[in-house]
Amino acid sequence: MRAPVLLGLMILLAGSLRGEDIVLISGGPALRAHERFKTASHDKYWGNFIDSALARVQELRKELPKDRVTWLVFRPGYATRGEDDKQDYFKIIEERGQKHGLVPVYFDNKDQLFKLLRRDGSPERPKIARLEYYGHSNKKCWMFDYSNRVDGGALEPLVVHVDDLENISGSSFTPNATCVSYGCHSGEEFSQRWRMIVGRPMVGAIGKTDYSDGGMPKLSDGKGGSWAY
């Protein structure tokens, strides 16, 4: 087992050359054991939310070459999917991150995520100028662990619900911070509640998003899809 979030905190608190930070969040993949018999199966490829975040890093390095990027990764999803696939996905994640000069900061639950997003503007805890989420979601939740964790015979996704957003303070962000959720349906409610509670606008999808082509996700081909906040 990888070191818990304390290792991530050590990395995060290492300091920044600027007073701002870019935060990219990669949610976890579905377990194939729970997806094989579905007509619309999720995450045939385990690394959609890893590759999309790293593709974004390449763009950000061109746009904002002096800004620091912090990459937060939901550890349990890749542990259980790795067991399912008999692969050490942490090794692969870390090798891919290294190519972009990044060390993944793992978190195990939403409380650890909230701590990682808590900033006071000091050099050790710089404010967040940009936040982007890559992972499963619905209109009310970021779903870090879609069809992965089983508790009492039922699938129990690990989520950040709109009612949890009071744990994220707008004071942790710069006044003009940019926030984007690349999960499905985020623009139908989650984005609006984020703006009301956190106090910063968040772009989200009306409809589904598609990661199947690799790189940055796009809106699915279904009718009515758009980006909103």
The domain in which residue 97 lies consists of: 5-228
Mean pLDDT, range 176-182, rounded to an integer? 97
Whether 2 has a pLDDT exceeding 60, the answer reads no
What amino acid is encoded at 12 in this protein? L
Tokens representing 2 are 């990888």
Residue 16: Cβ within 10 Å count: 19
Whether 169 has a pLDDT exceeding 90, the answer reads yes
Domain count, the chain: 1
Domain harbouring 196, CATH code: 3.40.50
Residues 6 or more apart in contact with residue 152 via CB below 8 angstroms: none
Tokens representing 32 are 């194939």
Mean pLDDT, range 149-159, rounded to an integer? 54
Q: What is the pLDDT of residues 99-148, one digit of tens each?
A: 999 999 999 999 999 999 999 999 889 999 999 999 999 999 999 976 65
pLDDT for res 63: 86
Q: Supply the pTM of this predicted model.
A: 0.86
Residues 6 or more apart in contact with residue 102 via CB below 8 angstroms: 54, 57, 69, 71
Diameter over CA atoms, the chain: 50
- Reported as a pLDDT band with limits 50, 70 and 90, residue 195 is very high
Q: Tell me if 138 sits within 8 A of 184, measured CB to CB.
A: yes
